[in-house]
Amino acid sequence: MNENIREILLGGQSFSWRDDGGGTYSAVLNDKIYRIRGLEDAAKDPFLADYFDLSYDYDKAAREIADKDDILREAVTSTGVIRLLKQDHWTATISFILSQNNNIKRITGLYDRLSKRYGHEIEEGRFTFPTPDEMKGATEEELRGLGTGFRAPFILDAIEKAPLLDTLDTLSFDEAMARLQTIKGIGPKVASCILIFSYQRREGFPMDVWMKKVMKEYYPDKDPSYFHPYEALSQQYLFSWIRNK
């Protein structure tokens, strides 16, 4: 089955990628700018090979998920193969704090404004996502001025607690969820997104407004454990499917 590179890059698990037109996508990652047209390009670069989790067999996972039931089969076949990116912890944390009660387009805009204000320029008009250190002097007024709204104090708390992000790897899923939720503005949905898209915790199952609809309408008597061992991937397929339907 074909990989859906567009959905992987722009479908809401990362806010780093931009559509440059002509089938090219670019992102500032790892202090560099990367331009790719597909996974073949990612395979040529060690950083991207890891970032795209190329050692994991997503095609096999897609087939097994599709075999689970008719809804998942429809979600997988209509979407194409989805991968889970291995994003930087801090970038993912701020990205999903920005995501609450927000939409993908506006989240991307906020991500860009934070980059322009606190990051550094890699090439004309392209900025790194700022590190916690680079955001150290930020104030609530400044952050609100960039359009973050009620999320401004959450970002400040995350800056304060950024070292916590390096303590999660050895923890169980539940412990990591609990520790992330000690940061203001991080609840179960945001925490599970961070753990999936930055810590490779495939048992996460983010329940946003879209997924609540899916569960109510198609899985009324089920809970996330039904999708084991592909909770996170199944959720991604159902999320893409319902949003594009």
Partner DNA sequence: CACCAGGCCGTGC
Partner DNA sequence: GCACGGCATGGT
Residues that bind DNA (CB under 7 A): 11-13, 96, 99-107, 144, 147, 149-150, 181, 184-191, 193, 206, 208-211, 235-236, 239, 243
Sign of the Cα torsion 93, 116, 108, 86 reads: negative
CB of 16 or CB of 236, closer to DNA: 236
CB of 101 or CB of 170, closer to DNA: 101
Smallest distance, Å, CB 177 to DNA?
Answer: 10
Alpha-carbon gap, residue 235 to 57, rounded angstroms: 17
Q: Hey, what's the torsion of the CAs at 222, 180, 62, 1, to 10 degrees? A: 140
Smallest distance, Å, CB 109 to DNA?
Answer: 7
Specify whether the CB–CB gap between 242 and 71 falls below 8 A.
no
CB of 62 or CB of 191, closer to DNA: 191
Smallest distance, Å, CB 88 to DNA?
Answer: 16
Smallest distance, Å, CB 240 to DNA?
Answer: 8
Smallest distance, Å, CB 235 to DNA?
Answer: 5
Respond yes or no on whether the N-terminal peptide bond of residue 163 is cis (omega within 30° of 0): no
CB of 80 or CB of 147, closer to DNA: 147
CB of 35 or CB of 213, closer to DNA: 213
Alpha helices in 46-165 (DSSP H): 46-51, 58-66, 70-79, 89-98, 104-118, 140-145, 152-161
